């Protein structure tokens, strides 16, 4: 079984959409779900495996627009 660990203390500022609340939920152009960093046990070897992926550009732009207080076009 996979064992996933989320360590929010290790997330950098890019991965935290703080201040993004002003946007309406329905205003996002797509599902805004992203795993910045994932650690799990390799299913065959059992050793830890870690993966990190930058937040996609469209998500960073969407959050920046939300922080500005403007509503994205729908």
Question: Is the whole-model pTM more than 0.75?
Answer: no
- Print the SS3 string covering the chain: CCCCECCHHHCCHHHCCCCCCCCCHHHCCCCCCCCCEEEEECCCCCCEEEEECCCCHHHHHHHHHHHCCCCCCC
Q: Cβ of 36: how many Cβ atoms within 10 Å?
A: 17
Give the Cα separation of 7 and 47 in Å (integer).
18
What is the tens place of the pLDDT at every residue in 6-53?
333 344 455 545 554 556 656 777 888 888 899 999 999 999 999 999
């Amino acid at each position: 079984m996979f064992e996933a660990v989320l360590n929010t203390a290790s997330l950098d500022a890019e991965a935290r959409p703080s201040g993004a609340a002003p946007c309406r939920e329905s205003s996002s152009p797509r599902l805004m779900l992203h795993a910045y960093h994932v650690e799990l046990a390799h299913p065959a070897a059992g050793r830890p495996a870690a993966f990190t992926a930058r937040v996609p550009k469209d998500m960073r732009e969407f959050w920046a627009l939300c922080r500005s207080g403007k509503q994205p076009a729908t």
